């Protein structure tokens, strides 16, 4: 059982997590028209993508933790259009959102290509994560943590190699702990419209 499995049942009880998710979702919403198909990568219990409702017509959560998926699926108002899976399905989405998950992914370049291949041309990718931190953010050590936050400009350059361009950047929330303050960023990138270019 992963540490995320162990924490899944209590995940939504944390007020700060709820606030982060709301702040991230509120930043993303003005870029949606309504009716989008959304992929929530590292969805956890769905805190961010559920906060986008009722705008999306469909939400597919993807998470490696079975217990997180279980909580996500138990909250679904319509399991035919809002559900969580262990892997990204073979389809395209209008928006991919990933919040507080990228620092758990070792190979960001490969992920950028994967996201590109699952986005419609002109589709949006919203990344929320920590700005560079000193390795003290996580309460229970850094197992499974591959990045101590990100520099959004470097991330934009990495995703730029896969044909993404930046359309918005904000720092919508700062997580305050006794040992320090940890500001977050939300970066919105757009996949280029030309399906033939990279």
- Which residues contact ligand SAM by CB under 6 A? 4, 17, 21, 42-44, 47-48, 62-65, 68, 99-101, 104-105
How far apart, in Å, are the Cα atoms of 132 and each of 103, 183, 195?
10, 9, 33
State in angstroms the smallest separation of the CB of 187 from ligand SAM: 15
68 versus 126: smaller Cβ distance to ligand SAM: 68
Interatomic CA distance for residues 74 and 92, integer angstroms:
24
SS3 108: helix
Residue pair 48/21 in contact (Cβ under 8 Å)? The answer is: yes
State in angstroms the smallest separation of the CB of 1 from ligand SAM: 11
Residue showing the smallest CB distance to ligand SAM in the complex: 44
1 versus 198: smaller Cβ distance to ligand SAM: 1
State in angstroms the smallest separation of the CB of 197 from ligand SAM: 28
Interatomic CA distance for residues 109 and 189, integer angstroms:
15
């Amino acid at each position: 059982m992963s540490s995320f499995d162990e924490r899944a049942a209590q995940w939504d009880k944390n007020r700060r997590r709820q606030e982060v998710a709301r702040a991230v979702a509120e930043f993303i919403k003005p870029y949606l028209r309504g009716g989008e198909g959304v992929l929530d990568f590292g969805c956890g219990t769905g805190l961010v993508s559920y906060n986008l409702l009722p705008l999306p017509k469909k939400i597919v959560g993807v998470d490696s933790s079975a217990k997180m998926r279980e909580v996500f699926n138990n909250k679904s108002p319509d399991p035919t259009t809002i559900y969580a899976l262990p892997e990204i399905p073979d389809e395209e989405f209008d928006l991919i959102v990933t919040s507080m998950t990228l620092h758990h992914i070792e190979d960001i370049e490969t992920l950028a290509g994967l996201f590109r291949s699952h986005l419609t041309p002109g589709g949006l990718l919203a990344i929320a994560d920590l700005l560079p931190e000193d390795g003290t953010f996580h309460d229970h050590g850094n197992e499974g943590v591959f990045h101590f936050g990100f520099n959004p400009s470097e991330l934009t350059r990495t995703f730029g190699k896969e044909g993404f361009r930046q359309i918005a950047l904000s720092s919508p929330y700062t997580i305050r702990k006794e040992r320090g303050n940890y500001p977050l960023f939300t970066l919105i990138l757009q996949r280029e419209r030309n399906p033939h270019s990279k």
